[in-house]
Amino acid sequence: MTTVTPNINNRSPLSERLDLIVSPVFAVILALIGTAVWLYSDVDSTTQAILAPEKLQRQLYETVLLGFSSSLLVVVIAIPLGILVTRKGLPRLKSFLVDTLGLAQALPAYGLIVIFFSFMGAGITTVILALATFSLLPVLRNTIVGLEQVDKAVIDAGRGMGYTARQILLKIELPLSVEVIIAGIRTAIVINVGMSALAFLVGGGGLGETINSGLKLDRAPAILIGAVLVAILALVFDFLSALAMKYLKPKGL
């Protein structure tokens, strides 16, 4: 999975505006497509049963829970790890973690979920931990890249002003690397929401149930509407991440 290049802090105002526009536009287009499918397709009683509002409401909640929880877990683990391995004396640990997580991400998401299932059994917790493991690398790598790209002269200036190592981290390094870090979080969120469609395989629920029912019963409208809802959720999370990127970065960058 590719991550963001270090020069993300040099994005133009036009690029930032587009970043906030593209996701909502695509979400609206997908919503219109889903609505058109529902209104103009041959929706029989079986399809209506698959797309029952109470089922979709539950599955939407489960998908949001899976995406949010796994992404939050990634943030809680990956950012502190990224900070730790960029401190002096830990280059080997950095290489080990990046290489190990690269191998984990090379596995298909389905395979990783099955591996966790074999140890932990069925349930939503199994899926959350599997998704978090699968998407750790983008956040860890972007945290490392973001911290390492901070101008050493700025850090030295902070030391000259009497800042402690903790103050340098909180007042200089993290603010100057926040855009790169959030870009990694955006990648992880999109991965987690998209892969949550596989949660039903191990009893984790989610919109994958609708897609799977549509596949089994050969109901194309159900398949399309389920896929559209997953995509819209991913775009909504991506838009919220873009807002965070815009408003959390230091003024003047």
Mean pLDDT, rounded, of the chain: 86
Report domain 12-248's class: mainly alpha
Residue 182 pLDDT > 50: yes
Nearest to 143, CA basis, from 174, 105, 97, 167: 174
Give the three-class secondary structure for 206.
Answer: coil
Question: What pLDDT was estimated at residue 234?
Answer: 92
Beta carbons of 206 and 63 less than 8 angstroms apart: yes
Contact, 173 vs 96, CB < 8 A?
no
pLDDT digit string (tens) for 112-157? 888 899 989 888 999 999 999 888 888 998 999 899 899 989 989 9
Structure tokens at 129: 């931990």
In 3-state terms, the chain is what percent helix, strand and coil (to 5)? Answer: 85, 0, 15
Closest-CA residue to 57 (of 195, 221, 229): 229
Q: Taking the model in full, what pTM does it have?
A: 0.84
**Which of 176, 249, 240 lies closest to 24, judged by CA?**
240
Local confidence band at 6 (pLDDT 50, 70, 90 cut-offs): very low
